Structure 1
């Protein structure tokens, strides 16, 4: 409104000024009017286009923050790549939060992946509902054991939650999962974010998802295969993917680092001390441009087990999550005192093709002077987006996220089509009853848009069982399919 009044005043004043003004004054006046008109047109175009911060918009350019006193400006890189759906309130950095507030333009919602982000009129409060529905079906054939040749269905995830923020720095997130017909609190934390020089950081406190390995740090709604690699599922603390504690994270232009200190998962047992887990991870992108990324990563953890968590028995998925008979099992392992694990990651993408290799080792310490129980795992996987979309690699977190599909089927396009392949191997040492196994997988992913996708995997698996009902070498094929929606 002030801009319009100023423009009207200039227009009505022009005839009077023209009688006394010099040619130079008139030229200055014309330039001022042109600038006002250009500003009004830009604002009108923005409002007519419905610009908020929707997923269809390109990622913002780096934000330049002037420091003054002769100091060079700080350049803050937006916390996502152009091929990713912009993050929700709990995953933004300070610059992104400020950008969202500055671009409200009187609007109180922004549309991203399926559900809106709500803003208060002054931009102080932000809120977004979250949801995840992942449905699987699988069929196994070829095993020499009839009990393994099963056809099953299951809900990989059935989640509902919320995330939001207050002001620039405070944020929170909460999610519960109902996939086993029980209420299971998964992510539940509060956090604080800010900047340090040219870097930014956040600190999260609550029930936290591990930052450990490439696919172990990728959400179940973003993994390129129906199940994570054996590196992510076997080289893991005994408390598994979640723990209650604190996680500070530091981000710079080409990578990030995190350190996590947690106790157990959320439980009702306060009769004994929790286990203690310290976990760290860092990744670095020595090459990162518009269509090429090189990813290097390393991580490790050390876990001291409580007196109530001394059983180390494990059964690792090798041919599909929803066939409980198809596992690489260790047999009973009692008397554990702690675990130590570590791993490395190397991969990246060029154009629509990506490759990722992971390897890890876990030493489980046993009481009474017994030797460690050791787990080795490694995997090599890759994919090709035949529709030309870039892989949904998140350079801020060093993991996969939700893609921003170039041509959604709801807009007349083909969606994004990806072909995938993987080989993985799992071996155990130190326990006579622990088995080994490997699997080769080929897959097809079809992203209908940025938050709906279907997946199809064909797995050739091989196990060498040394305990339980399925002894000796066995092999077969598992065909699995998934439909998922993530909001």
Structure 2
């Protein structure tokens, strides 16, 4: 600042006041000019001090609300721009744009740090081949897109955030995530509130995105113990976060549709998870969840055909046969697991009870045990903030000349549908390998041995076979 003033004095010297007709500067004029420069210097110093204080206040407010661009912890998801807040650059204008590269996509921010914006995308392409079934119609080789998503996310200031995504899989257009949110602190704890079309917070894999599950398909707990409306519903959700736990409560209707002639179903869903042990090398996960759904008159049919050996074989399902007259349902489940260094293990179980007018309740029971480990030494991709799986932090990306990350997985799962008697049941044993080329690109190979025993439909009685699924994915 003093150097600046010196420069001002030198620059001002030629224009100091002079006596008319004289080339000499009077002492009085010189003193007046110096006094004016000193006044300007004091004003500049006061402004600099005030700007510094305001910047420190902004930093103090933002720091506890929004974490760094890469949240701390052994495993992290791709950058969440709605949660990441840039510290304003002194002198930057609101119209200036800062650009940085996140996990597979650019992140744009206004120069003053108020606005952020990031494109989102998800491409999951599968090849599936089944054989060994006693029914030739089940021995199929097919291709499909598990997800073809495009969307945006962003934030306005430290509190307001939003997200929107559409899915184009199977040549259709579906609105999936679409919400407006607000985050802050209460009693020293982080919280957020979201309003819109919301993804379920339900179970470990039931609350994990399709691009982050360790297997090509979620467990039967995640696919069968579910509200009739599915994975999404329009409503409101509140979440509260502690240092090693979180809890959520959701009230929603149906997902995005055009059925406006009847009432929506109403679903209340709650979940909580806790990490009683949480270190850099070890995490223990405990969770519980439940929902209650009052069904719309338009949703009285609750027939289930649940995936057991792969999504892209339409005949390979555990089926109930026709079930009508449903008025509501209740579901609940529990989770237990964790990781140690590069190894992880998780177990889930759940039950769904559907109330049928004039009939016994229809019951769905499911459980699964799964495990895995990174032969390349990465920490398992578990997110302790939300209690779900995410994408791993790859130590040696192929983009940097490394081999990426290699994970071996195994799972056993079982599902049974019951009313007055057993309607259908099945189980599957899966082994797999995941090769993460970098933090947002993955190749998957799953080998599944499955068994079904359906009492109705086209494929009745006991049947066994094998399915091999190969997936290529990019997610950002």
Q: TM-score range by the shorter chain?
A: 0.7 to 0.9
TM-fit CA distance, 1:110: 2.2
- 1:101 pairs with 2:93: no
Which residue number corresponds to residue 475 of structure 1? Answer: 464
Are 1:457 and 2:446 an aligned pair? Answer: yes
TM-score scaled by length of structure 1 = 0.82
Distance 2:403 2:89 in 1: 32
Cross-structure match for 2:475: 486
- Secondary structure at the aligned position of 2:423 is classed as coil
Name the structure 2 match of 1:83: 75
Structure 1 residue 465: Cα displacement: 1.1
More displaced stretch, 101-110 vs 195-204: 101-110
CA contact (8 A) 2:129 2:139 kept: yes
**Structure 2 stretches of 5 or more lacking a match?**
8-58
The answer on 1:330 being equivalent to 2:316 is: no
Structure 1 residues 109, 144: closer, same or farther in 2, change over 3 A?
Answer: same
Q: Deviations over 1:294-336 (max 9, x none)?
A: 0000000000001111000010000000000000001000000
- State the match for 1:423 in structure 2: 412
Q: Which residue of 2 aligns with 1:303?
A: 293
Structure 1 residue 185 and structure 2 residue 171: aligned?
Answer: no
User: Pick from 349, 361, 365: which aligns with 1:372?
Assistant: 361
Deviation of 1:386 (Å): 0.3
What's the CA shift for 1:83? Answer: 2.6
Q: Partner residue of 2:32?
A: none
Q: Among 138, 145, 157, which residue is 1:167 paired with?
A: 157
Q: Deviations over 1:233-263 (max 9, x none)?
A: 0000000100000000001100100000000
Q: Distance in 1 between matches of 2:390 and 2:169?
A: 21
Aligned partners of 1:85 and 1:112 also within 8 Å: no
Task: Indicate conservation of the 8 Å contact 2:241/2:247, yes or no.
Answer: yes
1:137 matched to 2:98? The reply is no
Measured after TM superposition, the shift of residue 121 of structure 1 is 1.1
Report if the CA contact (8 A) 2:415-2:425 is conserved.
yes
* 3-state SS in 2 of match to 1:311: coil
Aligned-residue CA RMSD (Å): 2.3
Aligned-residue offset at 1:435: 0.7
Alpha-carbon separation, structure 1, partners of 2:461 and 2:259: 39
Correspondence list, 1:56-455, <5 A: 79=71, 81-90=73-82, 92=83, 96-97=84-85, 100-102=86-88, 108-368=98-358, 370-430=359-419, 432=421, 434-455=423-444
State how far apart, in whole Å, the 1-side matches of 2:2 and 2:204 are: 50
Greater Rg, structure 1 or structure 2? Answer: 2
Q: Could you tell me whether the CA contact under 8 Å between 2:89 and 2:112 is conserved in 1?
A: no
Distance 1:470 1:431 in 2: 21
CA contact (8 A) 2:65 2:190 kept: no
Alpha carbons of structure 1 residues 286 and 279: separation in structure 2 relative to 1, 3 Å: same
Counterpart secondary structure, 1:221: coil
Unaligned 5+ runs, structure 1: 9-63, 67-72
- Number of residues of Structure 1 aligned to a counterpart in Structure 2: 419
**CA distance in 2: counterparts of 1:230 and 1:283, whole angstroms:** 20
Residues 245 and 262, structure 1, Cα contact 8 Å, conserved in 2: yes
